[in-house]
Amino acid sequence: MIERGKISIRQFMVLTLLFVIGDAIILAPSHVIISAKQDGWISAWIGVGEALLLAVMYSLLGKRFPQQTLVEYSEQVWGRWLGKGISFLFITYIFIDCALMTYEAGDFLTIHFLMGTPIEMTISLFLLVVVLATRLGIETIARTSELLYPWVWILFLILIVSLFPQVEMENFQPILAEGFSPILKGNVYFLANVLELVILLMIFPYVNQPGKARKPYVAGMVIGTSVLAVISMMTIAVLGATVASIQQYPTYILAKKISIGDFLERVEAIVAIMWLFTLFMKISICFYASTLGLAQLFRLNDYRPLTFPLGIIAVALSLVLIPNPAFFNYTHTIWFPYSATFALLLPVLTLVLSAVRKRWFPIKKGM
Amino acid sequence: MLVVGILLIVAVIAWIDLPRLWRKKQKKDLSVYLILLLIGTGLSIAEGLNWDIPNPMDWLIYVYRPVGEWIFHQL
């Protein structure tokens, strides 16, 4: 095994939770609101139910191969070359996701905080930290997540509680004005974020009690998506669907609305800090998963030397993939089918095929 | 200037990992490392000089847009 690190069940739960919140905390509200308008919160809560089902399915796959990552067992299930091909496409999916999120981080920082700083600089510095985290291994990433975890909760609670005076229930009306169709469309956008959780199948074998990764995984996913649903609800309740749908980052505008007794003002940085924490965790896990996957694909001795070259590629790729911010919004339309290929089609087919193989072509022990 | 800067960064990066890989004589590790480093350098220079690089996202959009439109049409 290339990675010898082990993480505890609690750490895995924290990793999952921060991974779900990830970049979605800032994107999910705008995604559900753009198509479902004031009913966006319904889309989000449906998404929580779907997250539960997805988590159960992924953990079935994780349970079937408790010692291996997806890249390792797809070679067994699909045969050597087909398996390698599928793994390679899966790794590119993780890596593209990583590059897109890096762009988000750079874009957000240059728009709201470091105006005038070239985006190349913010992206490079952000990725440098990610590369260093990846070189230190999964244990360090997991411990970092435990360190950031309470802060994410504290900032989240501050955000929600201090927004309560601004809630206007009228913003939710009319409910179901255009039927269920827009809600389902919003739900598809929301789901595209949740589907990325398939990437954690690369971390499954490193939980120190194999076979017990299911509970923390399901819990992390459901709690994480609930956080997103609550934020979506708050965005609608405070900003209203019309204002929220024209914003690139509505959650950030939401925090700007906080104003308590002319005293507590301009605390939007709490959203930025919370988002940078969760985004850092998500990018780190994605970068780690793609580096480890690549090393396992080529059966290398160590994944660590690959981190710096892949880091350079990620910086350049994020700028190549997204030539301008308008194009970035455009990519959201294809993100669901692209994610679904690897997060729905691939796990289902792998599960079915591995069951068929086990039934009719038993695999030798130890493989 | 930009090219020199990128090459300098690549040199620093190579200095960190390359000697150890070279000494261990792990041919496969070394070749994957060098190929990735080469791709990264080329991509950075091409992007820095604003060359026209084919965008993988365009390929994804070409493949997945019909699927996406079909899904949204069904809902």
- Kindly report, residue by residue over A304-313, the tens digit of the pLDDT: 889 999 999 9
Nearest to A285, CA basis, from A8, A18, A4: A18
Whether B26 sits inside 8 A of A336 (CB atoms) is no
Comparison of pLDDT for B2 and A315, the residue scoring more: A315
pLDDT tens, per residue, chain B with 75 residues: 888 988 999 999 889 888 888 888 788 888 999 999 999 999 999 988 888 888 888 898 898 888 888 888 887
The pLDDT score that the predictor gives to residue B27 is 85
How many Å separate Cα A76 from the centre of its chain?
27
Give the residue-averaged pLDDT of A261-287: 87
The pLDDT score that the predictor gives to residue A362 is 66
Location of structure tokens 């609930």: A226
Res. A123: pLDDT tops 90: yes
Q: Which ranges constitute the DSSP H helices of chain A?
A: 9-21, 24-36, 40-64, 70-78, 80-112, 119-136, 138-163, 181-194, 214-239, 241-245, 250-256, 269-297, 307-321, 325-340, 346-360
Whether B57 sits inside 8 A of A315 (CB atoms) is no
Distance from CA of B15 to the nearest CA of A (A): 11
Burial (CB < 10 A; 0-12, 13-18, 19+), residue A316, is buried
Let me know the angle formed at the C-alpha of A106 by A104 and A109, rounded to the nearest 5 degrees: 105
Q: Half-sphere exposure of residue A2, counting CA atoms within 13 Å on the CB side?
A: 29
Res. A88: pLDDT tops 90: yes
CB pairs under 8 A between A and B: 94
Query: What's the pLDDT band for A291 if we cut at 50, 70, 90?
Result: very high
Which range of A83-87, A332-336, A363-367 scores highest in mean pLDDT? It is A83-87
What is the chain A residue with the closest CA to B7? A312
- Interface check A91 vs B, CB under 8 A: no
CB A94 within 8 Å of CB A234 = no
Res. A366: pLDDT tops 60: no
- Interface check B15 vs A, CB under 8 A: no
CB A3 within 8 Å of CB A138 = yes
CA distances from A218 to A152, A213, A344 (A): 19, 9, 16
Question: Which positions in chain B touch A308 (Cβ < 8 Å)?
Answer: 13, 16-17, 37
pLDDT, tens only, A336-360: 899 999 999 999 998 888 888 877 7
Report the C-alpha gap between B39 and A336 in whole angstroms: 29
Q: Which domains does chain A have, with CATH numbers?
A: 9-360 (1.10.4160.10)
- Domain residue spans of chain B: 2-74
- Interface check B1 vs A, CB under 8 A: no
Q: Is the ipTM of this complex over 0.85?
A: yes
Residue from A299, A317, A331 to probe the interface with B (highest B Cβ count within 10 Å): A317
Res. A96: pLDDT tops 70: yes
Query: What's the pLDDT band for A126 if we cut at 50, 70, 90?
Result: very high
The pLDDT score that the predictor gives to residue A16 is 93
Whether A334 sits inside 8 A of B65 (CB atoms) is yes
Res. A170: pLDDT tops 50: yes
The percentage of residues in chain A with a pLDDT greater than 90, rounded to a whole number, is 39
A260 strand-pairing partners: A264
The pLDDT score that the predictor gives to residue A1 is 60
The pLDDT score that the predictor gives to residue A283 is 94
Whether B41 sits inside 8 A of A181 (CB atoms) is no
Query: What's the pLDDT band for A25 if we cut at 50, 70, 90?
Result: confident
The percentage of residues in chain A with a pLDDT greater than 70, rounded to a whole number, is 98
pLDDT, tens only, A44-59: 999 999 999 999 998 8
The pLDDT score that the predictor gives to residue A367 is 45
pLDDT, tens only, A183-236: 888 898 899 889 999 999 898 888 888 767 888 899 999 999 999 999 999 999
The pLDDT score that the predictor gives to residue A254 is 85
Q: What is the CA radius of gyration of chain A?
A: 20
